[in-house]
Structure 1
Amino acid sequence: MCTHTGGGKRENAARHGREAFFTLSPSSPLLDVDSLNEQLRPTGAARLRNVQQPDQAYGLIFNLDNVIANTRAALARAWKDLSAAKGLPCPEDTLRLVRYGSCPERIMIDVLRWSPDPKVVRALCWDLAEAYGAALMEQTTPTTPGLREWLDSAATYSVPCAAVSTLDRPTARRLLEKMHLHDHFVHLQSADEMCTTAQSFLSSALQLQRPPNHCVVFDDCPLSITAAHNASMKIVGIRSKEQPAYRLRGADVTASSLSELKIYNIRRLFANTDLEFGNLVKQQSTDPPRIRRIRNATL
């Protein structure tokens, strides 16, 4: 569980463009990106294991809402079913606000003008939630092509995986069980446990026992690209009709299907980590070597 950082610690985290959060214990220190990278850095036997089996050094974090399932399509269908059942208007242009996570109460009152009565709107929101849950449970196959084969390959090479979702934990768990993917994820991060997207990524890295700078996020949201980079993670952008390649140009690599990538490509994402912009590197000098004169000591 996270709380807001306060005082100088928050300013220090914001100054470096990093995310941080406190754990439930009040005596625990601030968990930021740099401290997690240092604490989870492999040493001893874990370091030798990563040398022999380098794929195990990395962790994979998947966005359940966009990569595994399609919550946008399920929510749009829920709005259409609700409007048809109640005989209320719901233009196609309004669904754009739904896809970007606008408040349903504000849409019903201010945009669609279904009813000015808060009690009626509250009842409609309950009906919308039931229709949304029913539409989600109808999705039995992953949205991204090649996802199931990728998760099987990750299990073969012992690469831990985590899922991040804005749904509550019981709904997300039932959705994964419906797709028969619940056994592939070591950790499931729900929306009621973390505040921001970057903090959800950091918490998933902590549960996977992998440093954040050794984790890869799979998502199709431009905001997740910024959140992953703030958490010192790599990100694979999943292209689609709703999210074309030009919107995901900040991602480290983009793909329309996970069948285009292999587990080996994860290691290649970290091949030039020390040569990225902003990191300190050694520069060779072009000056000629100095000639040292040896003088004989005289008595």
Structure 2
Amino acid sequence: MIKGIIFDLDGVITDTAEFHYLSWKQLSNEERLNFDKLLNEKLKGVSRAKSLDRILKHNNTTFSKTKQKDCLERKNNYYLQYLKKITQKDYLPRIKKFLQELQASNIKIGLGSASKNALSVLERLEATPFFNVIGDGNSVKKAKPAPDLFLYVAKELGLTPNECIVIEDASSGIEAAHKAGMKAIGIGSKEVLGKAEVVLESTNFLKLEIIQNI
């Protein structure tokens, strides 16, 4: 029986993907690195440090640890400036209603996001009251596709993995859910998220019946 839902943040609750893209693009322009939206898609669900690694690898270059740290701090500062634009109007379609339905059904709600700014985003959305547990990039050492974050959230919710369903928009998140022993709902393209038990075109289609029938 499903007793808990673990949400990813970006692309599931709200969409800050464009903010990430603009932040990485600004940094890349400053460092004369090639960066486009196709590469940005490959950074979904990936930690900030691993994202920089992928950008550098894409450009066949390396930075010293000191320069990497500087780049990560600059990118985060750019991103934080964009986050100031988020309001409670920026939930993705039907998400707020779905969270309310889960609460009314006594289903526990957790967040499992790679972002270290997840709490700030939830606060700007005024969404923190919905969540029993918030797991983010500060909660565990190994990022997705490792299962650690989802296992951490399940444990904090007081649930076993098979009592939880993960809602994700990234293939790395679907992989992490399965490694954790959890079923997954993908939000987006079947081509990318086809390994999920259920794939929905958008959050508009999230309903309690889907959770109950997985």
Q: Which residue of 2 aligns with 1:203?
A: 152
| 2:186 is equivalent to residue 237 of structure 1 | yes
Give the TM-score taking structure 1 as reference length. Answer: 0.58
How far residue 79 of structure 1 moved from its aligned partner, in angstroms, is 2.9
| 2:83 is equivalent to residue 136 of structure 1 | yes
Q: Which residue of 2 aligns with 1:215?
A: 164
Q: For residues 17-32 of structure 1, what are the structure 2 equivalents within 5 Å?
A: none
Counterpart amino acid of residue 39 in structure 2: R
Q: Which structure's relative contact order is higher, taking Cα pairs within 8 Å and 6+ residues apart?
A: 2
How far residue 232 of structure 1 moved from its aligned partner, in angstroms, is 2.2
SS in 2 for 1:80: helix
Give the distance between the partners of 1:72 and 1:205, measured in 2 at CA: 26
Give the distance between the partners of 2:100 and 2:177, measured in 1 at CA: 24
Q: Which residue of 2 aligns with 1:96?
A: 39
| Contact residue 147 and residue 258 of structure 1 kept, 8 A | yes
Give the distance between the partners of 1:118 and 1:199, measured in 2 at CA: 25
Rg: which structure is higher? 1
| Contact residue 58 and residue 159 of structure 1 kept, 8 A | yes
Give the distance between the partners of 1:267 and 1:215, measured in 2 at CA: 11
How far residue 95 of structure 1 moved from its aligned partner, in angstroms, is 6.3
| Contact residue 212 and residue 232 of structure 1 kept, 8 A | yes
| 2:59 is equivalent to residue 111 of structure 1 | yes
Q: How many residues align?
A: 205
* 128 and 160 in structure 1: CA distance in 2 versus 1, 3 angstrom threshold: same
Give the distance between the partners of 1:254 and 1:131, measured in 2 at CA: 32
Q: Which residue of 2 aligns with 1:179?
A: 125
Give the distance between the partners of 1:167 and 1:149, measured in 2 at CA: 23
| Contact residue 10 and residue 16 of structure 2 kept, 8 A | yes
Q: Which residue of 2 aligns with 1:51?
A: none
| Contact residue 58 and residue 215 of structure 1 kept, 8 A | yes
How far residue 161 of structure 1 moved from its aligned partner, in angstroms, is 0.3
Give ranges in structure 2 of 5+ residues lacking alignment: none
SS in 2 for 1:65: coil
| Contact residue 109 and residue 116 of structure 1 kept, 8 A | no
| Contact residue 19 and residue 82 of structure 2 kept, 8 A | yes
How far residue 225 of structure 1 moved from its aligned partner, in angstroms, is 1.9
Give the distance between the partners of 1:184 and 1:144, measured in 2 at CA: 15
Q: Please give the root-mean-square deviation of Cα atoms over the aligned residues, in Å.
A: 3.1
* 124 and 262 in structure 1: CA distance in 2 versus 1, 3 angstrom threshold: closer
Q: Percent identity?
A: 25
Q: Which residue of 2 aligns with 1:127?
A: 74
* 215 and 142 in structure 1: CA distance in 2 versus 1, 3 angstrom threshold: farther
How far residue 126 of structure 1 moved from its aligned partner, in angstroms, is 3.0
Q: Which residue of 1 aligns with 2:15?
A: 70
How far residue 172 of structure 1 moved from its aligned partner, in angstroms, is 1.8
Q: For residues 13-92 of structure 1, what are the structure 2 equivalents within 5 Å?
A: 57-82=2-27, 89=32, 91-92=34-35
Counterpart amino acid of residue 201 in structure 1: F
Q: Give the counterpart of 2:138 among 176, 192, 201.
A: 192
